Amino acid sequence: MIENGLAVRYNEPESEVVSRSGDSCIVALCDQWLLDYGESSWLEKVKEHVTGPNFETYNPKTKLEFTLVLDWLKEWGCSRTQGLGTALPWDKQFVIESLSDSTIYMAYYTVAGHLQGGVLDGSSVGPSGIKADQMTIAAWDYVFLGKEFNADACPGVSEDQLKPLRHEFTFWYPMDMRVSGKDLIRNHLTFALYNHQAIWQDPKFMIKSYFCNGYLMLNNEKMSKSTGNFMTMD
Residue 84: alpha-carbon gap to chain centroid: 15
User: 180 pairs with which residues across the strands?
Assistant: 212
Residue 134: alpha-carbon gap to chain centroid: 23
Q: What is the pLDDT of residues 197-206, one digit of tens each?
A: 999 999 999 9
Q: What is the pLDDT of residues 26-79, one digit of tens each?
A: 777 778 899 999 999 999 999 999 999 999 999 999 999 999 999 999 999 899
User: 218 pairs with which residues across the strands?
Assistant: 221
DSSP string, 157-193: --HHHHHHHHHHHHHHPSP--EEEEGGGTTTHHHHHH
Query: If pLDDT is split at 50, 70 and 90, which confidence band does 102 have?
Result: confident
Q: Domain extents for the chain?
A: 34-101+174-227, 105-172
pTM of the predicted structure, to 2 decimals: 0.81
Query: If pLDDT is split at 50, 70 and 90, which confidence band does 88 have?
Result: very high
